[in-house]
Structures are given as C-alpha cells and as structure tokens.
Amino acid sequence: MNSRLFAVAPRVREALDHGRPVVALESTIIAHGMPYPANVETALAVESIVREHGAEPATLGVLDGQIIAGMSPAEITCIGSTPGVVKACERDLPWAVATRANAAVTAGASVAIAAACGIRVFVTGGIGGVGLEAANDFDISADLPALALHPVLTVCAGAKAFMDIAATLQFLETWRVPVATLGAPDYPLFYTRQSGVPSPWNAQSEDEVARVFAARLALGQQGGLLCAVPVPAAHELPAAVTAEATTRAWRESRSAGLAGKDLTPFLLARVAELTGGESLAANIALIRNNARAGAAIAGALVLYTRPS
Ligand code: PSU
Ligand code: MN
C-alpha cells in the first residue's frame, strides 16, 4: 500500500497485523449528515462503543489529499466543524488526492478504502439507495455498486427512508449482494423499524452474519454483504411520521431543483427540522446500535477467516 496516499493509524495497523477485529466508520455522516456539535459527539461516542465491544475503530476521511484510516479525535472534530468539507464518493477520491483536498467519505467510498486497507467490516447509519424517480433520473447511489465490488461487510439501519426500498433491494439482487436483516423479518426503514418490504434473508445473530460472510469469502465470491439492523424500538419514529416528513422534504427538494450529491444532505437536514429533531435522535440511536452490532460481527469474523 502506498503510504503517501494512505495513512493507516498505528493502532489500526497493529490490530490488522495481529488479526484483531477492526471496524471502519465513514465521515460523510459527520460532515454532511448531522449538525455540529451532535455530529462530532456522535462520531466519538460511536468509536467508544466499537472499542467497548472489542474492536478497533477506524474513522475514514481525506485530509490534505491523504486518505486516513483511523482519524484522531482532533481530525474528526476538524472534519465535523469546518464548513465546506467536500463529500467524496468513490469516484471523487482521485480528485481529492490530486488536489490535496479535505474530504468526508461516503459509505461507498468507505467500503473502497476499507477494502484497500484490509478492513473487513464497515458501520454506518443508512446507506444510499435507488431514488424514488430513478426510472426517470437514474438517481442510484454509488453506495450500491460499491457493495457489489468490494469485499467488505456493511452494517446499516437500512437505506435512507426517502429511497425506494423495494427497488434498492432489487438492485442489490441484480448485483448479487447478499442482504440480511438482523432479528426481524422486514428490511428496516432507517428511522423506522419496518418498511413493509420483506428482507431477502433473516439472520438470528451477529455470529450467523459473520459465518455467512466468511462463507462468501471462502467461496471466492467478489463483493461484500449488507447487514441491516433495525433502529432500537425505543428510538424509532412512528411509520406515519417518517412517511409524512420524508414525503414533504422530497417534494421540497423537487421544487428547489436539487439533484446529485446535494440531495441527501438536504433531505436529512429537512427531515430533522420537520420532525422537531426526532429524526436526528433516531439517527444517533441507530448508528450507536449499529456500532455495537458491527463490533460483534467483526469479532466473530476474525475467528471464521483465520488461516488454518
Ligand atoms: N446516512 C446517514 N447520514 C449520511 C449518509 C447516510 O444517516 O450522511 C451519507 C452516507 O455517507 C452515504 C451518503 O454514503 O449519505 C449517500 O449519499 P448519496 O445518496 O448522494 O449517494
Ligand atoms: Mn443520489
């Protein structure tokens, strides 16, 4: 690995070299998904939860054109408090590197970076998906093909609630990405536990998810696995609240003519306003819960992928 391009923090390098579990974390949720200071507080809390559950956290981002795997608290604070940080998806990484930019990385870019660093598990809040009008505007998040290409297991609470969930699952089926929901029959709806769309596969435990991904790797199949974990019941938004807020925010985004990578940050912020902050509380609760699940999966995965 080119150390001018990639800086893997020594604590992360050591964990990887000793076969200890590592969990990658993204930074677009910090820079563009939540307001300051809740974003930085949440990012640091998520790292602590990963540690408490036996894994080493590696928050990913780009600083001065160098791809960092394992940002320090000061670096996380910088990404989370500096206005104008770029949102980099996978195709933006060469640009961020060549122009020495500071950039937050999306879920898809994180999966690509994790794969390059040898990290097997990635945790986020919600992934991108197939947009509601994709049949006309082709808005399909670059997160989805990234899941199909890179050998990394992603833990999330569903695709964001303003996506077409059935179409997102169909896209992942076509791109032969295994999709599991942990402990529930429905694929979750990010802020809300049930989307009304059945999950392709249900897993009973983190251990089972790790075993299935280990089998995928052992079979020599290319690409990752998507594990959805429903938001904890105590923090979920009622389905009607999610539906009303996301529908209204979506209509406003149409009137404002928003498209491309600006759309998701707008919708997340607008839904938070429309729900009086309830969606932000749900977002924080679900990523904390995902961190716990991801660390457990990473712990099991190192056992199932240990060379014999
Ligand atoms: N989920 C959140 N907050 C976020 C995102 C997801 O709770 O900020 C980010 C992730 O980084 C994801 C990106 O990769 O939104 C998807 O953006 P788009 O829909 O433009 O592909
Ligand atoms: Mn999009």
In the structure, ligand 2 is a single-atom ion and the residues with CB under 5 Å from it are 139, 141
**Ligand nearest to the Cα of 137, by number:** 2
Residue with CA nearest ligand 1 atom 11:
106
The pairs formed by 7-14 with CB atoms below 8 angstroms and a separation of 24 or more are 7/66, 7/67, 7/68, 7/69, 8/58, 8/69, 8/70, 8/117, 9/58, 9/68, 9/69, 9/70, 9/71, 9/72, 11/56, 11/70, 12/56, 12/58, 12/69, 12/70, 12/117, 12/119
Report the pLDDT value the prediction gives residue 89, as an integer from 0 to 100: 97
Q: Report the domain count for the chain.
A: 1
CATH number at residue 281: 3.40.1790.10
* Cα angle value 231/232/234 (rounded, 5°): 125
pLDDT recorded at residue 61: 98
- Whether residue 235 contacts residue 125, with contact meaning beta carbons closer than 8 Å, is answered with no
For the CA of 287, the closest atom of ligand 1 is 7
What domain range includes position 128?
A: 3-305
* pLDDT in the model for residue 4: 85
- For ligand 1, atom 19, which residue shows the shortest CA distance? 128
- Among residues 47, 87, 90, 160, the one annotated as catalytic is 160
Mutate to test the pocket of ligand 1, among 89, 123, 124 (most ligand atoms within 8 A of CB): 124
Q: Is the pTM of this model over 0.95?
A: yes
Q: Is 26 a catalytic residue?
A: yes
* CA-closest residue to ligand 1 atom 17: 128
Averaged in consecutive runs of 10 residues, what is the pLDDT profile of the chain (308 residues)?
91 98 98 97 98 98 97 98 95 97 98 98 97 94 98 97 96 98 96 96 98 98 98 97 96 93 94 97 98 98 91
Catalytic residue list contains 87: no
242 CB neighbour count, 10 Å cutoff? 23
Binding pocket residue ranges, ligand 1, CB within 6 Å = 26, 28-29, 32-33, 106-108, 125-128, 141-143, 160, 261, 264, 268, 283
Per-residue model confidence (pLDDT) at position 2:
83
Atom of ligand 1 nearest to the CA of 129: 19
The reported pLDDT for the residue numbered 9 is 98
User: Could you identify the atom of ligand 1 that is nearest to the CA of residue 26?
Assistant: 11
